[in-house]
Chains A and B, each alone.
Chain A
């Protein structure tokens, strides 16, 4: 035992020494000095240990990269080129008029002395049906040919359509989820906070909307609208799927409002907004985040299902579901059936994996009950 701090008996303690002693003591780890690790940081730590979830997030990251860099991976025009005395940078995005009648093949053919071009990984765009008027329909995949994943019945490159389809899926998923999380959080918070009439109206609305199968409702709305578009689809999904988030946020608000510390905060004069910000939001963020992750998965499924039923986004938009519906007419073209199906399946699996891991990681309360995950989220729509 180290007696460094215990003065030998009989000696007077100098004042300075006494101060030093207390100062040193206070450096010891105490409950008041350092903040405990935040729930989110602890969650991330737990998330890292889950290998499956890690694989899921990796797949999602890859998918996001594919979607973001779709134009680099597959395009009907080069990324940059110097043809006929002009230099074009990213003509596949800027679409200069001078190259209106060109595709990658033609640019390559017309490269003269001193001309150069940087081509994308696959030299076909998602809607391009032919190279120089030559239609190569239903080519099977061959990794080292010009169409690495084959072509569909109209000669469009499958790889390009898959990559741009990822963009469509993720865009629809993300925007719709942001929309319905926003609506749900707002209405749920209002219902929980003000109770009474607002609460019963919101609760009735939740129960009413629960009665509609989202897929069918969105399908009918898209079919009835004179000009269905991605915006209307997002709106239709956003306006019907907010119910779960609203229920979660409302429950959280009710739970938190009955806690002593919130009562104390109120007694001290905290405004509702401050209570919402400081006490409700940190508690509600975890279940909402989990619901949002599962939400993206279900929206991706809805979008693909609608496209499969040929009532999805208007035609030129590439979509995995639409590719699958085309596969139905060509029994032998296995790549048309398997590749987009795997893409949807993989995306949904990854999102569900991440969602489950998030739930286990962010919501330790669920861990306490019983043996494992007691709450299993029931997918509401497919």
Chain B
């Protein structure tokens, strides 16, 4: 049994890989924002408004569109980016202005790769590179305008700077500096970090993820936003949810931009040929549990899922429970009463239920039973009444009753379809078992009818039906989407439809990924249950793997 379980679980790995590939393929359907913008036009935009092109590039990078799809033979890091920018500046080609812009954005992190080589450049090129670095010095708060913007003086300035400060640009010193700032933030310590500009980011961002101290977080965030020019601060006075959201925003940015500020070396460089790709970055982020940030309201997708998934999964679980609780007795009963009017009547009813479109069933239920409907027995929309939610913040009996009342109709609407198919299935499998010799033998021996049905027949007839639970999941997910929309339940489906309206691509891709993973797990669980209950299934699988046809 253990072998079977292990084997079945291992088989899920290629499936999950396939799932990720399909969802990745779906993400490639989203249009590239830069599509249709030519290079000349891009240059024209840059000339008039550099920030417009920056925003466009940010958007593309957020979706990793700047990277190749599956394999990146030369993953870029701060070193290669800095060197490329310098090369453009040296050649003074048409791309030089945008290269200067890029170099200034790379900032302090690029200095260790630019300044030592400044000496080897011809004087004119040296001047161009040095002037391009002026914005960096301004961020650091050093140098005077004439020192920075006159080519000869600027190159002299940077040469001298590097002689003085090269020792600050080492990983251990930055690590110490950031650590000290987290321990006790003072303006002086902050000033030390400002002076190494973006070189500090490689320590700042991990420190931001690791600290819960709001004072430290505020200082770290303000430093990071100073050196990067991103206006995302986390003031210590802000409320917790804002801080969480802004923190997630910074981490998301860091995930996308890390290689702009950190060099890749050794094993990391090897791994980057696969990891620094569109698929690699996308799947690694998903695996690490960060699903990105909603483009609709800036909330982290994971937080949204935590709030929404319980509603959907609860709805599905309840619907499954209800449909099994009704389907099994109904199926058994109509099998036992085979051919009688009650069987035919049930068959017609179940057939109708099984063809009933979920959205129509839900809509009819609302019209008939909800608050303003014909009978007005049940509350109409939402998870709970507004007044109850306002009054009771803790879980009380009244609140539980209120939520339950709100869930009756949605669960009924969702259960209709699966109830019908399950009980038809149960009837068929029961008939199969009843026709078998051992049941006839038991009957001949005088086993009481009820015992015959429940103990002898049902035990075997239950197996196929129970293991169908996993297969029901895809249909139930689809149904839950509709039911949530009709009843206004704040689940994944409801959120997805709002995301469709707002074109929130991050949520849309995350939601199908999560749904497919849940379903895969459900299917495996279902197979495992089957194997546990029925040894024949295990044999079949073993034989199939040996190449013997089942």
Contact = CB atoms under 8 A, between A and B. Distances in A.
Contacts of A297: 355
A59 to B, nearest CB: 12
B29 A211 contact: no
Given A370-B432, A378-B468, A220 B509 contact: yes
B478 A327 contact: no
Given A207-B15, A220-B511, A214 B481 contact: no
Interface residues of A, number: 56
B505 interface: yes
A220 B482 CA distance: 14
Given A348-B355, A370-B435, A210 B474 contact: yes
Contacts of B14: 204
A75 B297 CA distance: 45
Interface string B184-211: 0000000000000000000000000000
B290 interface: no
A371 B434 CA distance: 9
Given A210-B474, A352-B351, A381-B474, A311 B360 contact: no
Interface string B341-360: 00000000001101111111
B533 interface: no
Contacts of A311: 497, 500
Interface stretch (A105-113, A158-166, A276-284, A302-310): A302-310
B428 A373 contact: yes
A373 B499 CA distance: 43
B421 interface: yes
Contacts of B15: 204, 207-208, 211
B354, B435, B505 — most chain A CB neighbours (10 Å): B354
A223, A226, A328 — most chain B CB neighbours (10 Å): A223
Nearest to B366: A328
Nearest to A255: B549
A13 B484 CA distance: 91
A309 B421 contact: no
Given A372-B428, A379-B417, A223 B520 contact: no
Contacts of B96: none
Given A345-B356, A379-B354, A213 B515 contact: yes
A337 B364 contact: yes
Interface in B415-429: 417, 421, 424-425, 428-429
B425 A341 contact: no
Contacts of A348: 355-357
Interface stretch (B18-26, B134-142, B446-454): B18-26
B508 A220 contact: yes
A14 B234 CA distance: 119
A371 B22 contact: no
Contacts of A261: none
A268 interface: no
Contacts of B338: 371-372
A100 interface: no
Contacts of A45: none
Interface string B288-319: 00000000000000000000000000000000
Tell me the dominant secondary structure on chain B's binding face: helix
Interface in B377-428: 417, 421, 424-425, 428
A305 B508 contact: no
Contacts of A380: 471, 474-475
Contact of A224 (B26, B428, B520, B523): B26
Given A344-B360, A378-B421, A208 B355 contact: no
Interface string A351-375: 0110000000000000001111111
A215 B549 CA distance: 34
B43 to A, nearest CB: 25
Interface string B465-491: 000100111110111011001100000
Given A373-B428, A378-B421, A213 B478 contact: yes
A1 to B, nearest CB: 45
B427 to A, nearest CB: 8
A42 interface: no
Nearest to A307: B359
Contacts of A26: none
Contacts of B27: 224
B101 interface: no
A217, A221, A349 — most chain B CB neighbours (10 Å): A217
B167 to A, nearest CB: 51
A382 interface: yes
Nearest to A348: B355
Contacts of A98: none
Contacts of B58: none
A258 B550 CA distance: 11
A382 B515 contact: no
Contacts of A213: 473-475, 477-478, 515, 519
A205 B474 contact: no
Given A305-B358, A305-B478, A378 B22 contact: no
B359 A304 contact: yes
Interface string A322-360: 001001100100000100010011001100110000000
A77 interface: no
Contacts of B285: none
Contact of B18 (A204, A217, A353): A204
A349 B478 contact: no
A352 B352 CA distance: 10
A301 interface: yes
Contacts of A224: 26-27, 29-30, 505, 508-509
A189 to B, nearest CB: 16
Contacts of A309: 359, 481-482, 485, 497
B122 interface: no
A308 B481 contact: no
B372 interface: yes
B421 A220 contact: no
Interface in B496-542: 496-497, 499-500, 503, 505, 508-509, 511-512, 515-517, 519-520, 523
28 contacts: A205-B18, A212-B19, A212-B474, A212-B516, A213-B478, A216-B511, A219-B481, A219-B500, A220-B26, A223-B499, A224-B29, A297-B355, A305-B357, A308-B482, A310-B497, A337-B364, A341-B363, A345-B357, A348-B355, A348-B356, A352-B354, A352-B355, A378-B468, A379-B417, A379-B475, A380-B474, A381-B474, A382-B358
Interface of A: 204-205, 207-217, 219-221, 223-226, 254, 258, 297, 301, 304-305, 308-311, 321, 324, 327-328, 331, 337, 341, 344-345, 348-349, 352-353, 369-376, 378-382
Given A217-B512, A341-B364, A379-B354, 12 more contacts: A204-B15, A204-B18, A212-B22, A220-B508, A224-B26, A309-B485, A345-B355, A345-B356, A349-B351, A352-B351, A353-B351, A374-B429
